[in-house]
Amino acid sequence: MRHNCTKIIIQLLLIILISFTLIAQSQLEQKLKSLEGIVKVTQVEGDSIYSELYEVFIDQQLDHSNPEGDHFVQKFYIGHIDEDLPIVIELDGYSLPQSRYNELADILNCNKIQVEHRYYGESVSDNTQWEYLTVEQAANDHHHIISLLKNIYKGKWISSGISKGGQTTMFHRYFFNDDVDVSVHYVAPLNIAEEDPRIYHFLDNVGTKECRDKMIQFQREVLRREDEMLEMFIDDSEESGYTYSIGSDRLIFEFVVLEYSFAFWQWQNNNCYEIPDISASSEELFIHLKRNSSFSYFSDQGIAPIAPFFYQAYSEIGYYGYDISSLKDLLREVINPSSKIFIPHNSNPQFDCSLMQDINTWIQKHGNNMIFIYGENDTWSATAVELTGETNSIKMVKEGGSHRTRINSFSDDEKEIIFSTLEDWLDYKIER
């Protein structure tokens, strides 16, 4: 009898606990839906760290200087723990198919928001008007989201992003510095030219001379065997479902070969000792090329989701070109290689470097409470932010690191520098 009473009490307590949880969940959902401009809120499954995870769509002005103009709907995700905890807002540079792991929110054990960039994924307008795909318009998107959600979340705000997302986070801080308390920028370049020449200098000096020479020998051998290698490239592309409408198969193949040195150091999928020498079989050369210079990147299927990026690159944020001096005699179709060929056909960007230069100066002179994380051998580190000591911001460079460098890539002593800096700026204890 006593056993049955205990069982009943436990069941009642569970029912009460579940009821309170459901009430709390519905309160958050109701708060989100009550915010002006919120179009749709859907609860989705997510990481167990979050008691609730929502996919949210918000109405945004296409041109924030013209409230009477066209609008579009932008997607973001909210991972919720507690309204009083800090909140990490990840400003993505591309599409965001679903909520994903965020290292910084995990370290801080706090709420997270992840925002899809305008003109990517589902965050697009009915009529593409390229003139509104600007750094400033995107910064206004993020300012609007933060301003709304501050009605719910009362803790400290940390903005963050990876690669182009890291750039996006820099740009937002420049326009709306007071929106957040801290920002962390992962492997984010800051290019100050249409095709920044600092990339060439980096590739001429990264690693050892022996390795760089071996890479050039590899590229030259691939081009010497181009007829045979091209057939393998075409067969492999057909099997993978890749098409190349921008140019001939040979043109794209030569772009893949040129991309090899940039991609090799960016991702470091192989070590230098694994680069095949000129005595290797064509199959060995091909496998190494494919592993280190993605065929999909230049395919129609690879370009379509990121086509807006090429507009942005050649209007404001810059990109890189190719130094063909050591390969020119073996190239058949590539004459003056430039990724301008991937710009959306219905756009006509005109590059202006002035904003990037202004942002670079602002970061150096006024950009406080910013952490910049880079991999030493990542090619994008060629155009990394250079701090001058005029602010309290810090730059951490992982020795030998790639574009995959994150906070958890560093040694314990180096991570402690990052953790203690965050704790100081946020007045918040991080559990080690």
What pLDDT shows up at residue 9?
63
Give the tens place of pLDDT for each residue, 137-164.
Answer: 999 999 999 999 999 999 999 999 999 9
Domain boundaries, the chain: 1-34, 38-192+358-426, 198-342
What pLDDT shows up at residue 209?
98
Residue 310 CA to residue 341 CA, distance in Å, equals 9
Judge contact between 113 and 328, C-beta under 8 A: no
What pLDDT shows up at residue 20?
55
Residue 305 CA to residue 120 CA, distance in Å, equals 7
Task: Supply the pTM of this predicted model.
Answer: 0.93
412: left (phi over 0), alpha (psi -120 to 50) or beta: alpha
Judge contact between 357 and 333, C-beta under 8 A: no
Select from 190, 159, 158, 110 the least CA-distant residue to 430: 110
Give the tens place of pLDDT for each residue, 157-190.
Answer: 999 999 999 999 999 999 999 999 999 999 999 9
Query: What is the arithmetic mean of pLDDT over 302-331?
Result: 98
* Inter-CA distances, 105 with 78, 89, 300, 350, Å: 12, 9, 35, 38
CATH 3.40.50.1820 fits 38-192+358-426, yes or no: yes
Percent of the chain with pLDDT over 90: 92
320-349 in b/e form (b: 16+ CB < 10 A) is bbbbbeebeebbeebeebebbebbbeebeb
pLDDT band at 200 (very low <50, low <70, confident <90, very high): very high
Query: What is the arithmetic mean of pLDDT over 290-306?
Result: 97
Residue 296 pLDDT > 80: yes
- How is residue 277 written in tokens? 């020498």
